[in-house]
Amino acid sequence: MGISPRPALPPRDPNSNPEPSINPPLFIMERQALESLLASGEFHRSPNLEKILSYLCHQYFQGKGNLVKEYTIAIEALDRKEDFDPKRDSIVRVEMHRLRRRLKEYYASKGAANAVRINLPEKSYIPEFVTVATVATVAIEPGLLLDTPQTAALSLPHEPNSVWVRVKQHRNAAMPVWLAVIALAVVSIAGFWWWTKPAAASPPLTQQPQGEKSSSSTAASLVELNAPSATSPGTELRILAGRPKGRYPDRYGVVWQGDDYFVGGKSIAIESEVRARGFDSNVFAGMREGDFRYEIPLKPGVYEMTLLFAETVFGEGNVFGGGESSRQFFVHINGKVELSNYDALSEAHDPSTATARSFKDLSPGPDGKLRIRFEPSQIGKAFVNGIIIRPGVKGHIRPIRIVCRPQIYRDSYGEVWEPDRYFRGGTQITRPTGAFSAKDPDLFRGERYGKFSYSIPVPPGKYQARLYFVEYWWGPNSPGLGGVGSRIFDVFCNFRPLLSKLDILQRNSKERLLMETFHGLEPNLDSQLVFDFEPRTNFALVNAIEIAEDNAVLPIH
C-alpha cells in the first residue's frame, strides 16, 4: 500500500485556517455497550472473537471503520504475520461468522435487556449500535456513508473535514410512526443548514518538492493533542517523515503531522507492510532518505525525543536483500554525533520491523531551532520514519508507562499509560475484569501472554522497572480451573534474571495480584531495556510495565 490509501482521515494543512466542523462523537453509549458485552463473560473461552469485536469497535470509534479489511483484521487483531494471504487462510471469515452468530445468541438470551446492542451486518466490518426502544439512532462518522435497508442517509458536502450523518431507523410495533417522522425531519433540517452554510477555502495538499526546504517559515509551537486520551498531557510534536503535509490521527486518537521543517533528502512512500510493534502501521508508510536535516522550531525549554525506524529496503524479503550492515548512517543532534554507524535492521533483528531510539535533555539553539542531521555513510543512505518530541525535565526522563491494552489508559493519579507497544511475540487480550483488590483495577484488564519480549528504548542511565501481574485464567473458580503450579514462568531483563519460576497463585493465592519492582537496570548497547518472558508451565504473562529513573518514587496502584 502506498501513501494515498493509508491516512486514517483526509489530511489537512495544520497551518491553514480551520474549517467549521462538527465535533467528533464520543460514542459514550456505544462504548458502554461494548464494555458491558466484554464484561459479561460471553467470550471467556473465545479470545479471538473478543479481539476481533474490540478491534472493529475501536476502529469505528476512531472514524476508521471503512478502512477495515480482512487483511487488517488478521494482522492487527489476530496477530497474523504480514505475509498473511486471505485466499489461503480463511481464519477471518470463519471467526466473523462465529462472532455474528454469538452476538445474535447473546442478545436473544443474556443480553436481551441491553438498551444498546451491537450488530455486525453480513459482508461488512462496520459495527452497528442498535438502540432498543427508541426510534432513531444518529451516528456521525468521519468519511463513512453506509446505505442499508431501513436507513435514511443524508449526505453532506464532501469537504476535507466533512462528515456523513447516518440515520438508522429501528422499527418497533409499539412505537408510533409520527416519532420517526419527527426524528427524520430534525436531521434533515440540520443537514440543510450544513449544506447551505459557507465554508472556508481549503488549499490543496501537495507533496513538498524533494530536496528543498519545507515551507514552514514561522516558529510554530508544538502540535496540541486533540483528544483527552492523548499519550501525555500538554503538547507534543509528532512528524511523519516523507508524508504530505497534513494532519493524521492514528488509531489511538493521537494526531501526527506530515513532513515539515526538513532540508534536503527525498521523501519515499513505503509499499511494504511493517511490523509496527504496537504503533499504528500508518506511522511507517513513508520515510525521508538521503543526506538531510531537520530544523525544528521549539519554544525555550527541555525536551525528550524519540526517533522511529523500520528497515524496508534491505534484509530478507525486501527489494535489495542483504542483512545486517547493509545500511549504516549517523545521526547528529545540535552538532553532536548521537548515533554512529547506526543499523536499524540489526537493532530490530528483522527487516520491516519497527525500532526506536530515545534521547533526553534536548533544547533548541539560540535561534530557537532543534537541529537533527541524518548523515549517510559509505555503505548506506540515512533515513527516518517518524519523530516524536515532547516536553521533558532537565537531567531526567519522564516515566514510560505501557499497559497491555489496545487503547490508552488514564489511571487514578491522572497518569497516562501508552497502549501495548515495543513487544515481540505473544498475544494481547482484554479480560472482562481486572484486579479487584488493586487501586486501579482496570490497569490489570489488559494482558499479553505467551512467549514474548519487550524492547523499550531509553537514554543511557540507571532505571527501575515495575511489572504488574494478575492471574485471571488459572485457579479455583476461574475459567481455566487448576491452582498453584498451573502457570510458571521466568522474566529476564537484558539476559539478567529478574524472576525465576514465578507462580502468581503461589505468591498471592488470595488476590492473585503481584507488583514487582527491580532497581539498577541499565540499557544494552542499543539503548534498550529488553524484557524476556519465558514460559515453563503454560504461558508467561504481564499486564503492565512501568519504567522510571532508579531514584524516582512510583505510586502504588
Whether residue 326 sits in one domain with residue 462? no
Q: What is the pLDDT of residues 390-424, one digit of tens each?
A: 999 888 899 999 999 888 888 888 888 999 999 99
Answer whether 379's CB lies under 8 Å from 327's CB. yes
Highest mean pLDDT, choosing among 3-17, 40-54, 181-195, 390-404: 390-404
Q: Which structural domain range is residue 99 located in?
A: 28-196
* 473 shares its domain with 517: yes
Tell whether 218 is covered by a domain: no
pLDDT in tens, 234-287: 478 999 999 998 888 887 778 899 999 999 999 999 888 888 898 888 889 899
On whether residue 18 sits in a domain, the answer given is no
Is 530 within 8 Å of 411 (Cβ atoms)?
Answer: no
CA 133 and chain centroid, separation: 35
Q: How many domains does the chain have?
A: 3
3-class state of residue 497 by DSSP: strand
CATH number at residue 371: 2.60.120
Give the closest residue to 121 by CA, choosing from 134, 112, 130, 132. 130
How many other C-beta atoms can be found within 10 angstroms of the C-beta atom of residue 401? 21
Q: Flag the least confident range among 33-47, 151-165, 259-273, 278-292.
A: 151-165
pLDDT in tens, 312-365: 999 888 888 888 889 999 999 999 999 999 999 999 988 999 999 999 999 999
Domain end among 359, 391, 423: 391
Q: Could you tell me if residue 465 is inside a domain?
A: yes
Is there a domain that residue 21 lies in? Answer: no
Cβ neighbour number for residue 161 with a 10 Å cutoff: 17
pLDDT of residue 227: 31
**Could you tell me if residue 555 is inside a domain?**
no
User: Does residue 60 share a domain with residue 167?
Assistant: yes
Average pLDDT over residues 432-444: 84
Range from 10-14, 279-283, 485-489, 507-511 carrying the lowest mean pLDDT: 10-14
363 and 417 together in one domain: no
Distance separating alpha carbons of residues 58 and 81, to the nearest angstrom = 21
Q: 359 and 412, same structural domain?
A: no
* Rounded Cα–Cα distance for residues 513 and 532 (Å): 20
Give the bridge partners for 289, in sequence order: 266, 383
DSSP 376-412: EBTTB-EEESEEEEEE-BTTB-PPEEEESSSS-EE-T
pLDDT at 41 over 80: yes
Tell me the C-alpha distance between 260 and 239, whole Å.
Answer: 7
Q: Looking at residue 192, what is its pLDDT?
A: 43
The CA-atom distances, in angstroms, between 470 and each of 509, 512, 536 are 11, 6, 17
Partnered with residue 128 across adjacent β-strands are 119
Last residue of a domain, one of 196, 211, 236: 196
For residue 521, give the amino acid letter: L
Q: Is residue 349 located within the same domain as residue 449? A: no
- 383 shares a domain with 249: yes
- 80 in the same domain as 184: yes
Q: Which residue reads 510534536 in cell numbers?
A: 237
Q: Which of 74-88, 129-143, 156-170 is predicted with the least confidence, judged by mean pLDDT?
A: 156-170
The pLDDT tens digits for 94-141 are 999 999 999 998 998 888 888 889 989 888 898 888 877 533 333 333
369, 391, 413 - which closes a domain: 391
Rounded to the nearest integer, the mean pLDDT of the chain is: 78
Instruction: Quote the CA–CA distance of 388 and 371 in Å, as a whole number.
Output: 14
Q: Is residue 522 part of a domain?
A: yes
> Which domain CATH number covers 487?
2.60.120.430
Q: Check the CA dihedral 241-243-249-251 and report its sign.
A: negative
Residue 134 lies in a domain: yes
Could you tell me if 372 and 274 lie in one domain? yes
Res 331: pLDDT:
97
Does residue 65 or residue 154 have the better pLDDT?
65
Is residue 8 one of the residues assigned to a domain? no
479 shares its domain with 428: yes
Assigned C-alpha cell, 255: 494526531
Higher pLDDT, 204 or 451: 451
Per-residue pLDDT at 264: 95
Q: Strand locations in 334-486, DSSP E?
A: 336-342, 354-362, 369-376, 382-384, 386-391, 400-403, 409-410, 416-417, 423-430, 446-457, 463-470
Let me know whether 387 and 447 are in one domain. no
Together in a domain, 229 and 278: yes
